[in-house]
Structure 1
Amino acid sequence: MAVEIGGLMAAAFTELLSAGGAVSGDYKLLKTTQISDDRRIDQYRRIKDLCGQRPEIIHLHNDGFIVRFKCENDFYLILKTEDLTETEIRKTSDYLATFGLSDHEMEECFFLYLRLHLNKLFKVKKIRRDVDRARDILEVSVEPGYAGHDIYDLITYHENLNIYKIDQNSTFSTDEMWQIASNIACNLSGYRSVLIEESTAQEMLSISDIAPHLSENVYTALTSIHWKYTFFELYKCLEALFFLPWGMSTKNAFQLKLTALESHRAVMKITSFREKEAESVVKLFEMLDDSIVANAKAGTIISFRSLALDGAEDKLTASKQSIGRRIYKIRNTLVHQEDYEDRDPLDLENENWSELIKFLCESIKYLYGNYRSDLDIRQTTTSTEVTGSSFTLALIPSTSEQTFTPISPDAFNDLPARVDVWD
C-alpha cells in the first residue's frame, strides 16, 4: 500500500510544493518508491521510535541550525553544512570525532523526521527552488505508470546536512545545546565571524566552560558581524552580575551564611532596593584581580589611555573604577545616538576592539569563576532559571520558537496491518 501525501509522507514534499507554487491538492499521488523489505522493516521500526519525541533545535547564524535527537537508545547530532567547503566539513568531522562523534548516513527515517520537524529550516537547494525546476520534479507524479519518487533523490534535492552518531560516553549527548554550538564556533573558524581570531575565540570558550548558561551569549558574540554586537553580548554577561557587589557587601557586613544572590534578594524584599547600572558596573570592576586591571591599563586599549587618575592615593582602585566607568560609557556610546554635549567623546572607530574584547572576556571569566559559589548557578536538564533583582540567568534556552507537532506513535495504530511506508 502506498502512502499518499498527508501525514508523515507529506513532509517529504512540503518544500518542493512551496518552491513550485503548488499545494498538496495539485499532486495528490505524491509518494516514494519501494525500498527493500529488510530496509523498510528497519526504517519503519525506527520512525515509530522517532515519532514519539521532538528534537532539540537551535537556530544559528547564516540560516544554520543544530539538531539533536534520540533514536533507539542512540543520540544523533545534525549540522547544516550547505555553505561550508569540503575542507571545512572534513575539519568539522575530525574535530567532533575527538568528542566521540562519528559520521552517520542520512537514513530514510531521519529525512522524514527532519522534514517534519524542521519545516522551512530544512530547505530545498537553491537550484531546486526555481518554480519550473520544482514543478518538473513534482509533475512526474501525473505521468502514467508513476511509481513514486526515489527517496534518495528527494534527499539530494535538499540542502546538505551532516549527521553524527554520538558515542554513549560523550558529553555531547547531555551538554546544553548552546554550549555545543559555542564549542564548535570557538574551535572551527568556518562557524564564526571573520572578526574573531583564534586567541579571542579561546578566551570566549573559557567563559562557556566556566558558566555554561552564558553559551548563547558566547555564540552570538562569536558570530557577530560588527564588533559592537560582540561587545553587547559580553556586556550582557556583566549585566547578569549587577547584584553581585551589593550582595557581597550585605553578606559580609552582616556575616550572613547565605550566597550573595540570596543576601541581595533578602535586602530587596525588605527595602525594595534596586541597584543602579552605572554604579554596579563600577563596583563589579572594583572586584577584579589587580593584575587584570594593571595589564589592561598598560595595554593597547585606546579607550583606557585617557583615564584620569590624578590625585588618587590608591591608583589601582582608581584605575578599576575608571575602567568600570569607561566600559559603561562605551556601552552608552554604542547604544545611543551621538551625544553632542559630551566634551570628551570616545574614538571607537579606531579602537583596538580585539584587545578590548579579550579584556572583557578575562573580566567575565574572573567574576564568574571566582564568585561562582555566590551566584547560585545550577546546571540542570530542565527549564530552570536563576532570577535576581533585574536580571535572569536562563540556564536552559527557551523552546518557545519550536511550534512543531510530532506524530504520535498512536497514529500508526490506525493504519492497516500491512503498510509499506516506502511504496
Structure 2
Amino acid sequence: MAKLSFRDCIPWVFAPLIDASRRTDLVDTLRLVPPPKEVRNEQFARFGSLKRPDSTAIPLPNGGFFLRFQQANQTSFAFSSYIDDIDRDPDLDFWLAENEAVIENLDQALFLYLAKFAHPHFSIRPRFKSRAEARNIVEIAEANSYEGHNADDLIEVYRPTFVVTLPKDSLLEDVDDYTLCSELSSMISDLRSPIIDQTFAGKVHLLLGNHLVSSESIYLVLTSTRWRYAFMELFRILETTLHVPWLLDLTKDLSIGGSLVDLYRNLREKLSWKEAKGNSVERVFRDLNGDEDLLRFEKTVSVFAGIDLDAEEFCRSSIGRKIWKTRNQLVHPEDFTDGSKLEVSEDQFRALSNYLIEVIAKIFAKIPDGALRAS
C-alpha cells in the first residue's frame, strides 16, 4: 500500500472551494504556505503517524461526517458539525472521562488528512458555498504576490470538526462505527435528527449493546428525518424479538418428558414463527398482557382509538395486529385500498414510535440474562 503523501492531500483541501467558485482554472495554482520549519517538522511527523482509514466516512444528518482512523498505535475518530461549540449533553463529558478519551485540536496534519479521506462529507461552512464568497478565497491565487493559502485560515472556512483520541487498549476500539455514532448522536443534539429529543434519544440509547439489536438500526432511528422512518426502524428492532417467546417456550418444553412425536410437534409449532410473522407480532404483544404502564400509554395513542382497551376481554395482540398493519401499509401501500387503509399522520407515527420503544424495552426485560446467548 502506497504511503500517505502530505502533498497529495492539498488538492482535496481546495476541492469544495473550487466547486463553489467554479474556478477550475485555478486548480494547479492553489497551494499552501509552508509552515515555519519547527512547525513543519512537527506536522510532518504527525502526518507520518496517520494510517489510511479502514472504512469510509459516515455522513451525519447535519451534513457533517464521522470517520474512525489510526494515529500510530491509537484509535481516533473525528466528527464535524455546523456549530462552533459542541451542544452537548452533560453525559458526554462523563462518557469521555469514563473512556479516558481526549478531544484534540484540529491541526494542519489532521486537517489535510480529513480533507482527503472524509471527502465529500468534510466540507466548508454554508456561507462559503456561495460563489462570491468562495471566489473571494480562491482568487487570491491570481495576485502576483501569491505564495499560498495559510492552512490555519482555511481550517476556519470548514465546519468545526472535533477529533477524539482513545487511550491504548480502550474498550471502544472493539465497538463498530455505528455504535460510536449512536453514542455521540444520543448525547449531541446537532448530530441527530432535529425531530428526536433528548428523552427519546436516551431511551433508544439504552438498546445499545444488546446483541439482538443492530447498532446501525439504532443509529438510523436517531437520525430519522420523519417519524414514519423512525417507526419502521423500531419495527425492524422489534422483529429481532419475534422468535423470543417461541424459544423460551421451547426451552421449557424440552425439559418435560414425552414421546418423539410430541417433541416433533413442539419443535414444528415453536419454529413456525418464521412462516407467520403476523402471528408472531401478535404473540410478543400478547405476552405483555396485564402491563398497566403500557395500558396508560396506549390510551394516549389515537391510532388505537378503535380498540376497546377497557374491555374485560381485551388482549394486547389486537395492538400487535394494528402495529403489523401499519408496518405493512408503509412497505406495501399498493396492497391497501381506500376502504382498508389506515390514515396515520406524522404526529401519530411519533406516538407509535414512542410506544414501540417502550414495548421493545418491556420485551427485553422479560428475557432471562444469558438466555439467548450461545454458550
**Structure 1 length normalisation: TM-score?**
0.70
1:88 equivalent in structure 2: 87
SS in 1 for 2:69: strand
CA RMSD of aligned residues (A): 3.9
Q: Does 1:129 align with 2:125?
A: no
Q: Relative contact order (C-alpha < 8 Å, sep 6+): which is higher?
A: 1
Q: How does 1:260-339 map to 2 (within 5 A)?
A: 274-288=274-288, 290-291=290-291, 295=295, 299-307=299-307, 315=313, 319-335=315-331, 336=333, 339=337
CA displacement, residues 133-157 of structure 1 (integer Å, 9 cap, x when unaligned):
4344334335434322211122222
Q: How much has 1:89 moved relative to structure 2?
A: 6.0
Give the distance between the partners of 2:238 and 2:64, measured in 1 at CA: 28
**1:204 CA drift (Å):** 1.3
Residues 64 and 122, structure 2, Cα contact 8 Å, conserved in 1: no
Q: How does 1:3-402 map to 2 (within 5 A)?
A: 7-23=8-24, 26-54=26-54, 57-82=57-82, 84=83, 86=85, 88=87, 94=93, 97-99=96-98, 100-168=100-168, 171-211=171-211, 213-250=213-250, 252-254=252-254, 274-288=274-288, 290-291=290-291, 295=295, 299-307=299-307, 315=313, 319-335=315-331, 336=333, 339-342=337-340, 346=342, 348-349=344-345, 355-368=351-364, 370-371=366-367, 373=370, 375-376=372-373
TM, length-normalised to structure 2: 0.77
What SS class does the counterpart of residue 120 from structure 2 fall into? helix
Of 128-137 and 101-110, more deviation after overlay is shown by 128-137
Partners in 1 of 2:273 and 2:217 — Cα distance?
Answer: 28
Query: Which 5+ residue runs of structure 2 have no aligned equivalent?
Result: 257-262
Task: State, as a whole percentage, how many aligned pairs show the same letter.
Answer: 22
Q: Secondary structure at the match of 1:76?
A: strand
| C-alpha distance 154-349 of structure 1, shift in aligned 2 (>3 A) | closer
> By how many angstroms is 1:293 displaced?
7.4
Cα distance in structure 2, aligned partners of 1:139 and 1:310: 72
CA distance in 2, matches of 1:309, 1:146: 76
C-alpha distance 146-349 of structure 1, shift in aligned 2 (>3 A): closer
The answer for unaligned runs of 5 or more in structure 1 is: 257-262, 379-423
